[in-house]
Structure 1
Amino acid sequence: MVRVEHDLLGEREVPATAYYGIHTLRAAENFRVSRHRVHPELIKALATVKEAAARANWELGYLDAERAQAIIAACREVAQGELEGEFILDAFQGGAGTSTNMNVNEVIANRALEILGRPRGDYAYIHPNDHVNLHQSTNDVYPTAMRVAALRLLEPLATRLAELQEALQEKEREFAGILKIGRTELQDAVPVTLGQEFSAYAQAVARDRWRLYKVEERLRQVNLGGTAVGTGLNAPLKYIYLVVEHLRRLTGFGLARAENMMDVTQNMDVFVEVSGLVKAAAVTLSKIADDLRFLSSGPYGGPAEIRLPEVQAGSSIMPGKINPVIPEMVNQVALQVMGNDLIITMAASRGQLELNPFAPLIAHALLESMEILAQAALIFRERCISGISARPERCRELLEKSSVLVTALVPYLGYDQATQVAQEAAAKGMSIREVVLSRGLLSPEELNIILSPEEMVKPGIAGEKILKKRLKGRQQFEA
């Protein structure tokens, strides 16, 4: 069964059961590019924008109650994720989003007709352009929906990062007393605690979280009502103010009409900024994932200072092998986000004059980045970070074998003599402690104070205050 619809190019048969129409059908045929569909959050946001427009037009008398209420009901169904199978367009499409806008217009129009008991395709009563798209253009609706969708995805992303930060802080407290080798350029460096390493991870995630919280302000300026190029042609002045007010109420976001709607219509730099901060968060997560892979590597041929949760078998040929698959997933997601950021940057730079025709690519890349990074952060916390355990004995073993402990002795021995101690320790396979004691450079008591975990990981000269206090007490006693 089919129905016949027409457009400026002629007539086409559309499946009678389809809610989409001829414009969507042609676009689906033109853009058979990938398996990627238009992001569901963008579709939901477009439906919310359409509801705001319908409410404003109804309030101002441009739509009668029956049509307006049916359109609003259809908009709400789409905004709730219903009729998902009717949005069939590829994410990669020309036309600055016109095809997606028309897909939404047609689905809402036909669903509204059905709600009123009328047949799909009865556009004389409810028309995709004349009623659903009334006083709108793709060029103000689509950028506005991009902002609404991005704002909606910012919240779960920030929440996942906050939860990850808390999990890292819990490990910071748990590992606070475990002294280990620090590493710079993957070479042994002065001691740190395992807790201090996790504290740095938590602080970096907190910074990303704050950046994303602040960038929300950039997304609140919308050009809805600006129609084709931001001048507001064919949109009544009262509608322009009222439609943004309705959208603000429907979304719960502090949206405001942009002072210069032409700017918001043609320029996509806001999305570049948002993407850059999402990328920054991806960089942080990737760095943490890399560190965890290194610190857990082995378990016999590497540092193995921590254990990651075992979540699946690691090899089809090596029995018993466990791989750090969760951090590896995080690394891959981060790389995808970084690639998307470059795509967004290049697409935003390719706008011409009053419009950027590459908005669909920007929307696809940005919304994908926000969604997959939030999910990666959730999995990272649940299936990796929360289950990490330390190996204090291994941390201590590697620290005692390393020459880095001699750094704390430089204020007492001098750089040259400390270097000689390190060289002898390396040549003879001795520990720094053993060489110092064999040379009689410090007493066992002095050495224990200087090399204690509490003294090694705080600002200042290790052991100085304690040794001075003891020396002063001894002098007073002898006097």
Structure 2
Amino acid sequence: MSEKIEYRVEKDSIGSKDVPEDVYYGVQSLRAAENFHITGLNMHPEIINSLAYIKKAAAITNCEINLLDKKIADAIVKACDEILAGQHHEDFIVDPIQGGAGTSINMNANEVIANRAIELLGGQKGDYSIVHPNDHVNCGQSTNDVIPTAGKMTSLRLLQNLKKELLRLHAAFSEKAEEFDHVIKMGRTQMQDAVPIRLGQEFKAYSVAVMRDIRRMDIAMDEMRSLNMGGTAIGTGINADEAYLKRIVPNLSEVSGMDFIQAFDLIDSTQNLDPFVSVSGAIKACAVTLSKIANDLRLMSSGPRAGFHEINLPAKQNGSSIMPGKVNPVIPEVVNQVAFNVIGNDMTITMAAEAGQLELNAFEPIIFYCLFQSIDTLAYAVETFVDNCVVGITANEERCRYLVENSVGIITAICPHVGYQKAADIAKRAMKSGDSVRELILKENLLTEAELDEILNPVQMTEPGISGKELLKKD
């Protein structure tokens, strides 16, 4: 027989409700869990931690200004520290997507912290005469300054992890750039042969693009450091003591180990969520960069017999249940798919930020759900991209050189010496006959062997600012 569940009765403005006796959440959390079974997921652990930091800083601040009894403040701080140590997370039961601009998750935090503080003071869960979720844990606060602050704190922590992975990717591309610097291959524009390029130059460009995304993200992250804490309901600071207003952000910075500033205009910071759009935009731009690079790697490794086959990607798993020996570029493919999802999330974030009215935007829950998912999944995608793909890429040097030497794309270097029309004629004949450009140039005595060696030196053709004519003058 299953053990009988004991209940305690809690009341709110809606009425009375039975709450399991042994849980730390309360009546408002339980109502929210019943109303918003949307994703079937729990709140992100980092936003739970962010809420604990906020409630801890608020308790310390309210104690400093004599608005909270020290015993109650110490119990609240202890409860918050336990949450930060990983305890009680199972009592955060509300769905990430919820109505009410985040009131449900704020009250979930208030109730869990209050009930644990009550226990620490020797009371029974639900006896809010000892520690009250609103009067004590939420003192000087509103959902409307707590939740945006928790979202920004969480975003910053997750972005730091993403940045760490992107720096690893930048380093991996830089190492491959050096390793492949001597490998000549055919450059392509619009999927057609263009002019030669070194494989190392391509990978160097990838590293530069990734670093640009990191810097763009750094700028967006700075917007996450400006908080509306102290603004309470609509940014006017109602019910917040003036001393609390001055101390809460410095105290939050201290307890969290993060650098925050109070927003210049608390009303603006409460009304507008464009900083989250900015961060999402930076993440989207990064996802686009990575997806484009993944596309390149899939193309360059295509075949192997009937494709470009200029590089080899590490073989990670069987590619087919019916075709023996087939190996697919599964790691670049997952990077592509994560990028698609990030782009979709960015649209949701954009529309949710636009949908606010007057003094508040009610749609922070969906913004945070999408933003945290974008940051997390992109970080995981970059991690596997580095470890299971980029570091193991090898070059097929002979194949790359063969494609260069048998391409009509090198005719571009001949053009300054024989004229555009003659060069175009040679290119057409080479494509039709299958003869190489070199063979046709020599056959018509347009240039000497020595001149061609200089002009068609593929390494020289990949150095910007040096034309074939200048190379001939060097002698």
TM class, shorter-length: over 0.9
The root-mean-square deviation of aligned C-alpha atoms, in Å, is 1.2
1:398-413 mapped onto 2 (5 Å cutoff): 398-413=403-418
Shift in alpha-carbon separation, 1:456–1:69, aligned structure 2, 3 A: same
Contact 2:184 2:459 survives alignment (8 Å): no
Count of residue pairs brought into register by the alignment: 470
Partner of 1:475: none
- Pairwise CA distance, 1:89: 1.2
Partner of 2:464: 459
Matched, 1:133 2:138: yes
Distance of 2:378 and 2:122 partners within structure 1: 43
Superposed CA deviations along residues 263-319 of structure 1, whole A, max 9, x for unmatched, are 111110111111111111111111101111111111011101000011111111111
Q: Which residue among 255, 259, 271 is the counterpart of 2:264? A: 259
Distance of 2:164 and 2:38 partners within structure 1: 34
Identity rate, percent: 52
Distance of 1:372 and 1:264 partners within structure 2: 28
Q: Which moved more, 1:59-68 or 1:122-131?
A: 59-68
Contact 2:10 2:26 survives alignment (8 Å): yes
Contact 2:220 2:275 survives alignment (8 Å): no
Distance of 1:422 and 1:327 partners within structure 2: 35
Distance of 1:343 and 1:469 partners within structure 2: 59
1:43-442 mapped onto 2 (5 Å cutoff): 43-442=48-447
Matched, 1:450 2:441: no
Contact 2:416 2:469 survives alignment (8 Å): no
Distance of 1:469 and 1:192 partners within structure 2: 22
Structure 2 counterpart SS, 1:125: coil
Structure 2 counterpart SS, 1:142: helix
Contact 1:408 1:461 survives alignment (8 Å): no
Q: Which moved more, 1:125-134 or 1:60-69?
A: 60-69
- Pairwise CA distance, 1:37: 2.6
Q: TM-score, normalised by structure 2?
A: 0.97
Q: Which moved more, 1:149-158 or 1:14-23?
A: 149-158
- Pairwise CA distance, 1:24: 0.6
Contact 2:167 2:211 survives alignment (8 Å): yes
Structure 1 unaligned segments of length 5 or more: list them: 471-479
Partner of 2:3: none
- Pairwise CA distance, 1:233: 0.7
- Pairwise CA distance, 1:461: 5.0
Structure 1 counterpart SS, 2:129: coil
- Pairwise CA distance, 1:178: 0.8
- Pairwise CA distance, 1:159: 1.5
- Pairwise CA distance, 1:92: 1.4
Distance of 2:356 and 2:87 partners within structure 1: 33
Q: Which moved more, 1:251-260 or 1:166-175?
A: 251-260
Distance of 2:227 and 2:474 partners within structure 1: 66
Distance of 2:391 and 2:9 partners within structure 1: 58
Q: Which moved more, 1:107-116 or 1:337-346?
A: 107-116
Structure 1 counterpart SS, 2:224: helix
Q: TM-score, normalised by structure 1?
A: 0.96
**Amino acid paired to 1:169:** S
- Pairwise CA distance, 1:33: 1.5
Superposed CA deviations along residues 371-393 of structure 1, whole A, max 9, x for unmatched, are 11112111111111111000011
Distance of 1:256 and 1:230 partners within structure 2: 15
Contact 2:9 2:19 survives alignment (8 Å): yes
Contact 1:411 1:461 survives alignment (8 Å): no
Distance of 2:54 and 2:220 partners within structure 1: 22
Structure 2 unaligned segments of length 5 or more: list them: 1-5
Contact 1:212 1:277 survives alignment (8 Å): yes
Contact 2:227 2:263 survives alignment (8 Å): yes
Distance of 1:454 and 1:462 partners within structure 2: 12
Contact 1:451 1:462 survives alignment (8 Å): no
Partner of 1:477: none
